[in-house]
C-alpha cells in the first residue's frame, strides 16, 4: 500500500498554440497528496489549476517530470484506464458532463464503461445516488434538476466507479449559494466517511476553510502551501496574488488594524462569534 | 414557444405496448410500414385503419396527444391530398373552371393522406411509449444484428442528441431573450430580414455547442468511455412471450394486407 496517493515531481506542461507558439502552463510543480487528504487548490484565473487537475487522471501527460497515481506513472499507456477509474473528475459546467437522459443511466455510465456486470452496476448506482442524496431523482431527466443537483449527480457518477481520488475543477463556480452548499457538504462527507482523497479547485475561499491543506498557484507554480490558517493569515500576500480571503478573516484583519485585539487566523463565522463574545 | 416541440417525447405508462421490448417495437414498426405501403384498395385501408386504432387503444395514449403530434404535418397532408385530388386524370365528378376533381383523384388523395397520417401516428407511438434509453438501445441492437458498422456510435450520438435537445432549446431561448433585450426582432419583416435576424442567434449557439461538445468529450473520457467494446449496460433488453405474440400479430397483419392487395 502506498501512503502517498498522488506524487507529482517537477511537472512541466506546455500548450502549443498556433498564435503564440509554446506556452508553459505548469513550470515545475512538485506536490504530494496523502491518502484521505482534502486538498484545496486556489489561484487566479490562468494560473494552471485546471491543467494540473487534468494531469491527475492522464487527460494530459507531462512534458517533463512525472505524475504517480497510487504508484502508477500516468505515462504508462496500458494503465491509463486503471488510472482514470481511480481518479474521478468533476468539471465546472454541470450541463456538459451529464451524458444520459435519466439520472440513474448517467450514474451508470462510468461502471458500464468499465464492463461491470449489470447486477453489480445496479447496486453501485443505488449506493452512489444514496451517498449524494439523489435517490428520489433516479428517473428524472438531468435538465430538470437544479445546478447543485446536477453536480451531485456528476459526483455520484464518479463515486459509482469506486475511485480513490475525487478531483473537482471549480464544481461550484456556476452554482447559486444553496447549490454550492449542497455540493460542498457532499464532498466533505465523502472525504470524511468514505475516506476519499479530494483535490478541490475553487475560487471561493470559504470552501478552503475546512480543508486539510491549501495550495496556492500562480503562473504555473505553487507559491504557497499550508493549513488554511497559515495561508489565510497572510492577507497581504494573498491580495498581492489577486486572491480574496474568507470574509471573516478579512473582517478580523480590519478589526486588528483598528486596534481590536483579535486572532489573525479566524476563518468562519462561528470562530468570529467566539472571538468577539468569549 | 420552442418548448412545444415534442421530439422523442415519452409518456410513462404500463400498457402492453409500453412493455414490449424496443427491438420488437422497431422491427414490427418496419413490418407495419411494409403493410401500409402494400395496401391499395378500400378493404386494405379498412384493415390498416382497424389495426392502427387497435394499437393506439392498446397503448393507452390519448387520441388528443396523437392528433397534436400530427398538427405540424397538417400542411403536408393537405398538400398531398390537394395534389392528388386535382392532378389525377380520370372520370370527372366535380369541376369549377380549370379545377376538376376525378373519382380516381379523390380515392388516391384520401389513400395517400391516410398513409401519411398512419405513418406518423405509428412512429410517434413508438417514441411515446419507449424511453429514449430503451429506444437507442433497441436501435443499437437492431443495427448490430444487420451488421451495420458504427451501430454503437450512432446510438451514442442519438442518446447525446436526446440529452442535449432540451438544454439547447433552453439556451436558444436565453440567447433570444438577450438579443431581444438589445433590440433584435425575430418575428417581423420579410423572409430575408428574418433569416438575417437569426445570425446573432445562431452564431453564439454554434460557438457554445462546440464548447459543450469539447467539454462533454473530455468528461466522457475521464469516465473511461472508449467506445462500445466490452461495455456493459445497466438495463438489459429481454424478449418475452409478449414480444413473440406481437411478432405473430404483426405477421398476420402483413399477410392480410398482402391478401387484400393481390386477391381481393
Ligand atoms: N488547450 C489550451 N491551449 C492553449 N493554452 C491553454 C489551453 N488550456 C489552458 N491554456 C492556458 O494555460 C494557462 C493555464 O490554464 P488553466 O490551467 O486552465 O488555468 P486555471 O484553471 O487556473 O484558470 C492559461 O494561461 C491558459 O490560457
Ligand atoms: Mg480552470
What are the structural domain ranges in chain B? 1-130+235-264, 149-231
Q: Distance (Å, rounded) from C-alpha B58 to C-alpha B17?
A: 7
Please work out, in degrees rounded to the nearest 5, the angle formed at the alpha carbon of residue A51 by the alpha carbons of A46 and A57: 160
Cβ distance of B231 and A88 shorter than 8 Å: no
H helix or E strand, kind and range, residue A15: strand A4-17
Query: Can you tell me which atom of ligand 1 is nearest the CA of A17?
Result: 4
> Is A120 near chain B, with CB under 8 Å?
no
Contact A215, A49 (CB under 8 A): no
Residue nearest (by alpha carbon) to ligand 1 atom 1: A15
Whose CA is closest to A112, among B214, B138, B235, B164? B235
DSSP state, A261?
A: -
Give pTM, 2 decimals: 0.85
- Which runs of consecutive H residues, i.e. helices, occur in chain A? 49-55, 80-86, 103-113, 118-131, 147-159, 177-194, 228-232, 235-240, 247-257, 269-276
Residue B52 backbone zone (phi > 0: left; psi -120 to 50: alpha; other: beta): alpha
> Is B208 near chain A, with CB under 8 Å?
no
CA dihedral B95, B96, B97, B103 (to 10 degrees): -30
> Is A146 near chain B, with CB under 8 Å?
no
Using an 8 Å CB-CB cutoff, list chain B residues near A122: 234
CB under 8 Å to A22, separation ≥6 — which residues?
A: A14, A15, A16
Extract the C-alpha cell encoding B54: 387497435
Fold of A4-245: Rossmann fold (3.40.50)
Provide the ipTM: 0.89
Using an 8 Å CB-CB cutoff, list chain B residues near A117: 232
Best of B22, B166, B219 to disrupt the A interface (most A CBs within 10 Å) is: B219
User: What was the pLDDT predicted at B8?
Assistant: 57
Residue B59: count other Cβ atoms within 10 Å of its Cβ. Answer: 20
State the distance from the centre of ligand 2 to the C-alpha of A92, rounded, in angstroms. Answer: 8
Reading chain B (264 residues) residue by residue, the pLDDT tens digits are 455 555 557 888 899 999 999 999 999 999 999 999 999 999 999 999 999 999 999 999 988 888 888 888 888 999 999 888 888 888 888 888 778 888 888 888 999 999 999 999 999 999 899 988 899 999 999 999 999 888 999 999 988 988 888 888 889 988 888 888 888 777 777 778 888 888 888 898 999 999 999 999 999 999 999 988 889 999 988 899 999 999 999 999 999 999 999 886
Contact B10, B128 (CB under 8 A): yes
Q: Distance (Å, rounded) from C-alpha A119 to C-alpha B225?
A: 20
Contact A109, A157 (CB under 8 A): yes
Where exactly are the structural domains of chain A?
A: 4-245
Query: Can you tell me which atom of ligand 1 is nearest the CA of A47?
Result: 22
Question: Sign (positive/negative) of CA torsion B68, B69, B72, B74?
Answer: negative
Query: Can you tell me which atom of ligand 1 is nearest the CA of A49?
Result: 22
Nearest to A89 among B131, B166, B222 (CB): B222
Nearest to B225 among A98, A104, A113 (CB): A113
Amino acid at each position: 500500500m502506498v501512503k502517498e496517493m498522488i506524487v507529482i515531481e517537477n511537472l512541466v506542461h506546455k500548450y502549443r498554440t498556433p498564435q503564440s507558439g509554446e506556452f508553459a502552463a505548469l513550470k515545475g510543480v512538485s506536490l504530494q497528496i496523502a491518502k484521505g487528504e482534502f486538498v484545496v487548490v486556489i489561484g487566479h484565473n490562468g494560473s494552471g489549476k485546471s491543467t494540473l487537475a487534468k494531469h491527475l487522471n492522464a487527460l494530459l501527460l507531462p512534458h517533463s517530470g512525472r505524475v504517480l497515481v497510487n504508484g502508477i506513472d500516468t505515462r504508462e499507456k496500458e494503465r491509463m484506464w486503471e488510472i482514470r477509474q481511480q481518479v474521478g473528475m468533476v468539471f465546472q459546467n454541470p450541463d456538459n458532463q451529464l451524458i444520459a437522459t435519466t439520472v440513474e443511466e448517467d450514474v451508470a455510465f462510468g461502471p458500464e464503461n468499465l464492463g461491470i456486470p449489470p447486477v453489480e452496476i445496479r447496486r453501485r448506482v443505488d449506493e452512489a445516488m444514496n451517498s449524494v442524496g439523489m435517490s428520489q431523482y433516479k428517473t428524472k431527466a438531468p435538465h430538470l434538476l437544479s445546478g447543485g443537483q446536477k453536480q451531485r449527480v456528476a459526483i455520484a457518477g464518479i463515486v459509482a466507479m469506486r475511485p480513490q481520488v475525487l478531483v473537482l475543477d471549480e464544481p461550484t463556480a456556476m452554482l447559486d449559494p444553496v447549490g454550492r452548499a449542497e455540493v460542498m457538504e457532499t464532498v466533505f462527507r465523502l472525504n470524511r466517511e468514505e475516506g476519499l482523497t479530494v483535490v478541490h479547485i475553487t475560487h471561493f475561499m470559504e470552501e478552503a476553510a475546512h480543508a486539510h491543506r491549501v495550495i496556492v498557484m500562480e503562473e504555473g507554480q505553487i507559491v504557497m502551501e499550508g493549513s488554511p490558517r497559515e495561508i489565510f493569515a497572510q492577507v497581504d500576500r494573498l491580495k498581492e496574488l489577486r486572491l480574496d480571503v474568507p470574509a471573516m478573516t478579512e473582517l478580523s484583519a480590519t478589526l486588528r488594524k483598528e486596534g481590536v485585539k483579535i486572532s489573525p487566523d479566524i476563518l468562519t463565522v462561528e470562530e468570529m462569534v467566539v472571538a468577539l463574545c468569549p | 414557444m420552442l418548448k412545444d416541440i415534442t421530439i422523442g417525447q415519452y409518456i410513462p405508462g404500463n400498457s402492453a405496448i409500453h412493455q414490449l421490448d424496443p427491438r420488437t417495437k422497431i422491427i414490427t414498426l418496419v413490418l407495419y410500414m411494409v403493410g401500409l405501403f402494400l395496401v391499395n384498395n378500400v378493404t386494405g385501408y379498412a384493415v390498416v385503419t382497424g389495426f392502427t386504432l387497435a394499437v393506439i387503444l392498446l397503448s393507452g395514449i390519448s387520441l388528443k396527444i396523437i392528433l397534436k403530434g400530427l398538427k405540424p404535418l397538417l400542411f403536408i397532408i393537405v398538400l398531398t391530398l390537394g395534389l392528388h385530388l386535382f392532378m389525377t386524370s380520370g372520370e370527372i365528378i366535380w369541376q369549377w373552371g380549370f379545377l376538376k376533381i376525378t373519382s380516381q383523384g379523390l380515392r388516391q388523395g384520401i389513400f395517400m393522406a391516410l398513409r401519411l397520417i398512419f405513418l406518423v401516428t405509428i412512429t410517434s407511438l413508438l417514441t411515446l411509449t419507449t424511453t429514449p434509453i430503451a429506444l437507442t438501445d433497441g436501435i443499437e441492437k437492431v443495427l448490430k444484428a444487420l451488421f451495420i458498422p458504427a451501430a454503437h456510435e450512432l446510438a451514442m450520438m442519438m442518446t447525446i442528441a436526446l440529452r442535449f435537445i432540451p438544454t439547447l432549446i433552453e439556451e436558444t431561448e436565453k440567447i433570444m431573450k438577450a438579443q431581444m433585450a438589445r433590440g433584435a426582432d425575430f418575428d417581423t419583416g420579410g423572409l430575408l430580414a428574418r433569416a438575417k435576424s437569426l445570425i446573432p442567434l445562431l452564431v453564439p449557439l454554434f460557438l457554445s455547442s462546440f464548447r459543450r461538445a469539447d467539454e462533454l468529450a473530455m468528461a466522457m473520457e475521464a469516465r473511461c468511455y472508449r467506445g462500445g467494446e466490452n461495455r456493459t449496460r445497466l438495463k438489459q433488453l429481454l424478449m418475452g412471450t409478449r414480444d413473440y405474440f406481437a411478432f405473430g400479430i404483426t405477421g398476420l397483419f402483413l399477410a392480410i394486407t398482402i391478401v387484400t392487395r393481390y386477391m381481393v
